[in-house]
Amino acid sequence: MMAESAAMPVRATKRGSERTPLSGEHDVLICGASFAGLTVARELAGSGADVLVVDRYEIGERQTSACGIPTEWLARLGLMDAERQRFDTLVMHTPHGTSRYRLPWTFSTFDYREICQLLWRDCDARFETAKVHGRTAEANGNGKIAVETDRGVISAPLVVDALGWRRMLATGYGYQPPDAPLSRGLEVHPGGTSEDLAIWIDRKYVPAGYGWSFPARDELRIGIGSFDPRFHVKDTTVELTRDLGKEPNEYQGNWIPHKLRTATEGGVFFVGDSAGHCLPLSAEGIRTALYFGIALGRELRGVVEGRQTREEAAESYAEFHDSHEWKFKWMLRVQKLIPRVPPRLLAPAIRLMSSKRFVDWSFRHYLRIAPPEFAGAGLPGGSADDQDGAGQQQGDAEDALGAERDLVQAEQA
């Protein structure tokens, strides 16, 4: 964790005598109860599986992001109640001027605690707070995988690591910043309102990366993301915040992976940041955590319902994950290119990119990396009314997975 956070809040978790020993076997153990972990659990609801979800904090307790997502993802998952503000335009500030891009789809900010509670509402799993230490050799027979936590050893034949960039359940080399392919992000949340979803591409704030202000009804989520993990973003987060006439408060930050890692390892399934599912360049990792979380949940459901083995699920999930690799690599290439563009070329390049045709084309392709239709039609109470087009495409889970595979293959061809 970054040493930059000032006064860190006390997080809700079980303490002292409440931390009774926890052990036993379950059908599925999901480690990490944020976007990725909760989505996997949600896909398993109604399957009859005994699913345990663990996290070091209570559900929804620790926000680490600006919580911005394409609106249609919220709508299709029935999560519109968590929406805070919606935008149809992106404002880009550079030292050479400001451009406004009208987006072909809308983007929303949401409340972290609320979205986690909504995802959890749709699960029928059990939850416990426990700090995961890693895998242990114990109980590794009979295809069971054992995980050591501060409350005891828990085992299951199906284990998911949705623990974020640390990828605690991997057996091999662990990533360590600043040498690993990780970006760093820090933000503050001063009160205030704005109509502008804004980003700053300005080397005065960060040599490689961008600054942002994501309004969320009554607060502004202002931060800096650096593709270079060695660049400390605290000073310039403060600078950008003050440039916007606000005082920094409530620091929150994290490392952000910008490279895919393997989807499975030693029988464990990885999803979200632990699998490197955050998109390079934009550092958008929530939509992809939901997307790959759904894909993984569907595969695991196939196992608990006896339609496939764990090995078959692993193969299928890894194939799906790998089919996206070229898109992630392409975005990483652009991420690496940006710091090399001479400042005098940046302004004309940004002007060129602001044609409506280019914006529509590029943003549509960008959305297709993890398209909202993959989530299906949405749940009752989701909101076809709130978002035109959402909820129209029906189709069962496996059809959607197959359709997405076809799409990826077609785009590769």
Residues in the site for ligand FAD, rule: CB under 6 A?
A: 32-37, 55-57, 62, 64-69, 131-132, 162-164, 166, 168, 185-187, 223, 253-254, 256, 272-273, 278, 283-287, 289
* Residue where the block lists tokens 């979380």: 293
Whether residue 280 has a cis bond before it, omega within 30° of 0: no
Task: Report how far residue 244's alpha carbon sits from residue 246's, in angstroms, rounded to the nearest whole number.
Answer: 6
The residue to which tokens 């599986």 are assigned: 49
Give the nearer residue to ligand FAD in terms of CB position, either 334 or 341.
334
Torsion of CA 15, 18, 20, 26, to 10 degrees: -90
| Of residues 57 and 330, the one with the C-beta less far from ligand FAD | 57
As given in the structure block, the two tokens for residue 332 are: 């990483």
Taking the complex as a whole, the smallest distance from the CB of residue 13 to ligand FAD amounts, in Å, to 9
According to DSSP, residue 300 is labeled: H
300 and 269 in contact (C-beta within 8 Å)?
A: yes
In the complex with ligand FAD, which residue's Cβ is closer, 256 or 314?
256
Minimal distance, residue 379 CB to ligand FAD, in Å? 20
- Measured at the CA of 197, the angle between CA 192 and CA 203, to 5 degrees, comes to 100
- Give start and end residues of each alpha helix (H) in 129-252: 234-243
CB nearer to ligand FAD: pick between 14 and 131: 131
Tabulate helix, strand, coil % of the chain (nearest 5): 35, 25, 40
Q: How far apart are CA 370 and CA 324, in angstroms?
A: 9
Nearer to ligand FAD, 41 or 313 (CB): 41
Whole-number minimum distance, CB 84 to ligand FAD, in Å?
Answer: 12
Which residue's CB comes closest to ligand FAD?
A: 285
Q: How far is the CB of 56 from ligand FAD (least distance, A)?
A: 4
DSSP 18: G
Phi, psi dihedral angles at 269 (to 5 degrees): -100, 135
Whole-number minimum distance, CB 185 to ligand FAD, in Å? 3
Q: Which is nearer to ligand FAD, 96 or 196 (CB)?
A: 196
- Comparing CB distances to ligand FAD, the nearer of 63 and 94 is 63
Return the structure tokens found at 375: 């989530």
Least CB distance to ligand FAD at residue 247 (A): 18
Query: Cα separation of 65 and 182, whole Å?
Result: 15
Q: How far is the CB of 108 from ligand FAD (least distance, A)?
A: 10
> What is the token pair recorded at 246?
């606000």
Q: How far is the CB of 33 from ligand FAD (least distance, A)?
A: 5
Nearer to ligand FAD, 279 or 314 (CB): 279
CA distances to 238, 272, 373 from 129, in Å: 33, 20, 33
